[in-house]
């Protein structure tokens, strides 16, 4: 928290209503973070891919012949962010890029047999749950959530940056479990 915010809180003599509001907000943040973290760990443990990778796999399955730009629009992020995640999925043998049957100049995304098998056993990713929950909110509630989270991020000193995907690391580092699962998936592909 910024020093100015902390000083402001102290100057308010921690009135009961403010203390109660802070406690309620903190409980809500904790509940959301805990639930999303638990979901993300479950996805990785069951599939060996991240929440973001699973979300993209599901969009590819549902979208039939999506381009990278179309997939980025569905994920509500940038083309470059999606390209990074897709590269990881390709290296795991779960996705392939092919020429579009409708327009040979265009490249589309397809699941491999291993990608289809992974989806059959995969839980629903946290990203899908968050999008469904946000879609159920009224416009006023969405505005309040956006403003509140924006204000919290500002007070935490979080930099505004291009949107990334939930639970996908920006770097090339992957969890030990995800690397093991990817190696197992590649071995399964070779043996078939």
Domains of the chain: total: 1
Asked if residue 166 lies in contact with residue 36, where contact means CB atoms within 8 angstroms, the answer is yes
Residue that the structure tokens 């940038």 belong to: 78
Contacts of 50 (CB under 8 A, 6+ apart): 40, 43, 44, 85, 167, 168, 169, 174, 178
For position 181, what pLDDT does the model report? 53
Let me know: does 76 contact 59? Beta carbons within 8 Å.
no
**CB burial readout 90-105, b (16+ within 10 A) else e:** eebbbbeeeeeeeeee
Owning domain of residue 73: 3-191
CA-CA-CA-CA dihedral for 141, 142, 144, 150, to nearest 10: 160
Going by C-alpha positions, the residue among 192, 26, 189 that lies closest to residue 118 is 189
- Residue 179 is encoded by which pair of tokens? 């690397």
The full length of the chain comes to 192
Decide: 122 and 47 in contact? Cβ < 8 Å.
Answer: yes
pLDDT tens, per residue, the chain with 192 residues: 556 665 565 555 556 777 888 999 999 999 999 988 898 898 899 999 998 999 999 999 997 789 999 999 988 888 999 999 999 999 999 999 998 888 888 888 999 999 999 999 998 888 888 889 999 999 999 999 999 988 998 898 887 666 567 667 654 444 454 455 555 545 554 454
Q: What is residue 133's predicted lDDT score, i.e. its pLDDT?
A: 93
Predicted TM-score (pTM) of this structure: 0.69
Which domain CATH number covers 111?
A: 1.10.10.10
């Amino acid at each position: 928290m910024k020093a100015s915010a902390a000083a402001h809180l102290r100057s308010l003599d921690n009135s009961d209503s403010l203390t109660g509001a802070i406690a309620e907000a903190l409980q809500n943040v904790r509940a959301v973070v805990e639930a999303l973290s638990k979901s993300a760990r479950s996805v990785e443990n069951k599939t060996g891919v991240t929440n973001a990778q699973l979300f993209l796999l599901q969009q590819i399955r549902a979208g039939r012949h999506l381009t990278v730009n179309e997939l980025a629009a569905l994920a509500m992020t940038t083309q470059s962010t999606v390209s990074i995640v897709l590269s990881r999925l390709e290296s795991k043998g779960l996705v392939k890029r092919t020429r579009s049957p409708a327009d040979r100049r265009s490249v589309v995304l397809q699941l491999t047999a291993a990608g289809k098998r992974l989806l059959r056993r995969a839980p629903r990713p946290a990203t899908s749950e968050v999008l469904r929950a946000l879609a159920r909110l009224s416009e006023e509630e969405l505005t309040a959530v956006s403003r509140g989270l924006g204000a919290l991020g500002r007070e935490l000193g979080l930099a505004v940056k291009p949107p990334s995907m939930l639970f996908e690391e920006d770097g090339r580092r992957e969890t030990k479990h995800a690397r093991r699962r990817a190696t197992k998936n590649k071995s399964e592909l070779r043996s078939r």
